[in-house]
Chains A and B, each alone.
Chain A
Amino acid sequence: MSQYSVINTRVHNVDGIAKVTGRATYTFDVKLPGMLFGKILRSPHPHAKILNIDYSKALELPGVIGVVTGKDTLGVKQGIWRRYQDLCDEQILPVDKVRYIGEPVAAVAALTEEIAEQALDLIDVQYGLLPAVYDPMDAIKKEAPEIHQGFERNINVTRHIEWGDVEEAFGEAEYIREDWFKCGGQAHMCMETRAAVSSYTPDGKLTVYHSTQAPYYMQGLLAGVLGLKEGNIRVISHYVGGGFGGKFELDGAIFCSAVLSMKLFRPVKIVFTREEDFIATKRRTPMFYYVRTGVKKDGTFCAREAKVFTNGGAYTGMGATALYLTGFFHSFPYRWKGYRYDGYRVYTNTLPSTSMRGFGAPQAMFCSEQQIEWIAADLGLDSIEIRRKNAHYPGYEVPGQATIASCGINQCFDTIKDWTKKKGKLPENRAIGFSAAGFMSGGIFNWFDTPYSFSSAVITINYDGTVELYVGAQDIGQGSNTTLAIICAETLGVKVEDIKVHSGDTEHCPADLGAWGSRQTLMAGNAVKMAAEDAKKQLLEVAYAQSGFNIVYDLDIKNRWVHAIARPERGYDYAELVKKAIRGKDGQRIVGRGYYTPHRKGMISPAYSYMVQAVEVDIDKETGKIKLVDSLTAHDCGQPINRLGLIGQLEGAFSMAAGYGYLEYMPYEDGKLMNPNLVDYKVIRATEMPDVPVAEIDTYEPEGPYGAKEAGEGLTNPTAAAIGNAIFHALCVQMKECPIRPEMIVNALKEKEEKERK
């Protein structure tokens, strides 16, 4: 029997009733008295000077209340890397020039959305067109147009990672392989498009409802661009219709609604259309990857070097972090004697790129895991065993970067090997592809430069034993509120239904960096555990005082039952103890506080998840069409906390990762996205989704709450490569670009046939 009474049991999500009955209200649903509706005028040009904006005619339209342009702002160049001024490069309503098609140039507030939309046509913007550049490999050329002043060859940021003597390690290699890859972008495609309602009042206070992954970031960033004190801004985000890495920066909805509201002293709501969400937010970072890998003939990995050029688009966003993480995870989950990575993030006149679920790692794995498969084939080695031979193990130190505490990847290989063996011989044009991966459990970086701890939690216990849990962590559908309620209930010794989670409101919840980088289970989880332990200690002190037990006995609370551990049958109701404890404190409520900030945990993260995935793929040779038939993922996330949530995260990550692998294509022509709608931008639908069971590998992560670590984001990493590897084994063709599109397969087969004929 499990030592836990709540952890890893099947519980309903704490917000389940609200979500299945339509009671959950999102920013999209918010309606305030006197609220106006805003619309944004967007640049039709990829690169142009703004010479003049005349909106006098728009103001004459009945129902239009106000218009703002860059001149109504403080002109602050903002970015989420606040520590580095250079990387704060985006004015959301630019003052003098636009750098991509879809960039905001003005915003209108009107009585209805329809009127606001009509008013956009009445705004006259004079542009001075500038030459534009769309491809990073063109943008780094000497003669390329300058997108931001002072960035030579349009290089926005560079990242270098190196350990060991790379040349010496290559010298030891008996086989060297080099490949170029091209990884596409991907739209976050949250079901709730970007949305915000801002309300500025004459007392100088701003309240903003926002569909966000990080209310505290929004509070901090808004303060910077609006010239307000953080404490005078309240960000509310109770229910969020998906995030996936696309909703923790300022966006046009929040910024323009806030600027309009400050000018008009009325609440203003802006909701992006699906098209705006595609063309004017941010996207997964497209990357060009050069990889050179040296191995011994027995499959021992010696050295790897990678050069990466990313399409940064017009602004930095979270791209600098993606640039670092792709370089780090490109080494994952293997040991390299020598490793060198040079990443260049290049500005172009396209939609900015940023973080998206996996944060640079899906691109890294697409290249790395395919190349390893090809190396194994080149050398005639077993592709699982070559991976196993070089994989991380518990206690391994990635030189200068990370120390691996828990690591179950070896067992993952066993599980996948067994499953594949049982599959036996597959029909023609069908094969299984493998991919290994790992991911971080929250980043250690503090480029936001906050003085607050990374996560915090406050617990108050009511007279009847019910618990108010306040967290700054943000539930965006990944179920963090449920996971944190489980950790709280387990620690305190009560049931999940005793816990009320308060989140998504900066006025009442302690600061937390929010939902990104797989940080909440480990970081917010540790904060909640600490807060619950603090509260429990206060209760147990009272229990000890009145028990009369010898002090060598341990008391505990479990399932609302206060008892000596040695004599669990003798005890009493926890609510009775709460009443006594409150009386003993002269009527004060029991309050527990907890926080977490990582210390001495390397450069990246306190802990890492591991996984090996097998995907069975069927390919139609005539059309190049891919069908995912079956899969298994062996997964080490430490101690699972929320069982249903974990299954959901795995399945959801697979659908998004598979979409990246073979469906979700973002073609641009002259800086214009050609498919900004859900008819032409394909995502996985129910009929395309295979069975994706997970085999949990049991490990215990010492740094995580109850041994838990990351689950859900890392699972976006292996799938594109696994699909590529399946195609390689089925058809003997190599896919060096993702998403892998049918015409690529057909062309590769044609090329192969021609070669064979010769």
Chain B
Amino acid sequence: MEKQLLKLTVNGQEYELYVTPKTLLVEVIRDHIGLTGTKRGCETVSCGVCTVMIDGMAVKSCSILAVQAEGRHVTTVEGLEKNGKLAPIQKAFLDHGSYQCGFCTAGMLMSCEAFLDENPTATEEEIREGIEGNICRCTGYNSIVRAVEAVVKGDYREEEI
């Protein structure tokens, strides 16, 4: 399959790459660009550990072809922190112990971040629905919900970047 030119922006950095048309976005992020914070956990778009944001929207990066991200702005977990300063949702995860093995954490953070942008006053039920596409085998989700609630409540407002 012939490779084609792909231009996209990841975490504010522009990239030009040659990829085959069937390359997945997650492969470009992890294998071509080398940002390994984003993980893979299934082949059926079920687990959500590969979730990134594309132009602000949460997308499972195993579910789309890299070429579909042409010209788009992709944000991965590595793009949440700015100059060593953590984003509110990252701080909330730390304070509430919202991760254990950490393998789902990147995808979970991106789902939460996109969801909070969209719905900054979410209720507990809405938060649960917002992360329904992400499996966490360790925490049982409740600590993650508490972290998002803390951000909604404004516990990290003064720290927003």
Contacts and interface: CB of A to CB of B under 8 A. Distances in A.
Interface residues of A, number: 56
A122 B100 CA distance: 41
Nearest to A653: B140
B36 interface: yes
A654 B109 CA distance: 22
A19 B38 CA distance: 11
B141 A686 contact: yes
Contacts of A647: 97, 143
A241 B102 contact: yes
B3 interface: no
Contacts of B139: 648, 651-652, 655
A333 B109 CA distance: 40
Contacts of A683: 135, 137
Contacts of A25: 36
A719 to B, nearest CB: 11
Contacts of B35: 22
B77 A689 contact: no
Interface in A1-43: 10, 12-13, 15-26, 28-29
Given A645-B97, A679-B46, A193 B41 contact: yes
A275 B43 contact: yes
Contact of A17 (B30, B38, B94): B94
A192 B103 contact: yes
A241 B132 CA distance: 20
B41 A648 contact: no
B69 to A, nearest CB: 19
Given A21-B90, A22-B38, A239 B102 contact: yes
A689 B49 CA distance: 19
B135 to A, nearest CB: 6
Interface stretch (A146-154, A284-292, A414-422, A476-484): A476-484
Contact of A686 (B78, B102, B103, B132): B132
A685 B43 contact: no
Interface in B75-116: 76-78, 80-81, 86, 90, 93-97, 99-106, 109
Contact of A244 (B36, B39, B128, B137): B137
B88 to A, nearest CB: 11
A274 B42 contact: yes
A426 to B, nearest CB: 21
Contacts of B8: none
Contacts of B144: 686
Main secondary structure of the interface of B (DSSP, over half): loop
Contacts of B104: 191
Interface string A676-695: 01110001111101011000
A686 B128 contact: yes
Interface string A259-301: 0000000000000011100000000000000000000000000
B101 A241 contact: yes
Contacts of B40: 28
A240 interface: yes
Interface centre among A28, A191, A193, A242 (most CB of B within 10 A): A191
B58 interface: no
Given A192-B41, A240-B101, A647-B97, A20 B140 contact: no
Contacts of A655: 137, 139-141
Given A241-B102, A644-B97, A652 B129 contact: no
B140 A26 contact: no
Nearest to B99: A19
Nearest to A112: B31
Contact of A12 (B94, B129, B137): B94
B35 to A, nearest CB: 7
A189 interface: yes
A748 interface: no
Nearest to A658: B140
A627 to B, nearest CB: 13
Interface in A687-744: 687, 689, 691-692
B101 A190 contact: yes
Interface string A177-196: 00000000000011111000
A26 B142 contact: no
Nearest to B34: A31
Nearest to B46: A678
Nearest to B76: A22
B56 interface: no
B74 interface: no
A469 interface: no
Nearest to B110: A22
B131 to A, nearest CB: 5
A123 interface: no
Interface centre among A13, A20, A655, A683 (most CB of B within 10 A): A20
Contact of B43 (A22, A190, A274, A684): A274
Given A21-B86, A191-B137, A678-B42, A686 B97 contact: no
A648 B39 contact: no
A685 B132 contact: yes
A376 interface: no
A21 B36 CA distance: 11
A486 interface: no
A1 B71 CA distance: 58
A651 B37 contact: no
A686 B100 contact: no
B25 interface: no
B135 A191 contact: yes
A656 interface: yes
A687 B129 contact: yes
Given A23-B37, A477-B138, A191 B99 contact: no
A192 B96 CA distance: 23
B47 interface: yes
Contacts of A692: 140, 142
B18 to A, nearest CB: 15
Contacts of A190: 101, 103, 137
B43 A242 contact: no
A240 B101 CA distance: 6
B67 interface: no
Given A16-B99, A191-B47, A678-B135, A652 B41 contact: no
A689 B131 CA distance: 12
A248 to B, nearest CB: 15
Nearest to A26: B103
A651 B142 contact: yes
Nearest to A187: B137
A563 to B, nearest CB: 31
Contacts of B90: 20-21
A21 B78 contact: yes
22 contacts: A20-B77, A21-B80, A23-B37, A26-B103, A190-B101, A191-B137, A193-B41, A241-B103, A273-B43, A274-B44, A644-B96, A644-B97, A645-B97, A648-B140, A656-B137, A677-B42, A678-B41, A678-B47, A679-B46, A684-B141, A686-B144, A689-B128
Interface of A: 10, 12-13, 15-26, 28-29, 189-193, 239-244, 273-275, 476-479, 644-645, 647-648, 651-656, 677-679, 683-687, 689, 691-692
Q: Which 10 A-B pairs have the closest CB atoms?
A: A22-B37, A477-B101, A241-B103, A19-B102, A651-B140, A678-B46, A655-B140, A644-B97, A22-B77, A477-B100
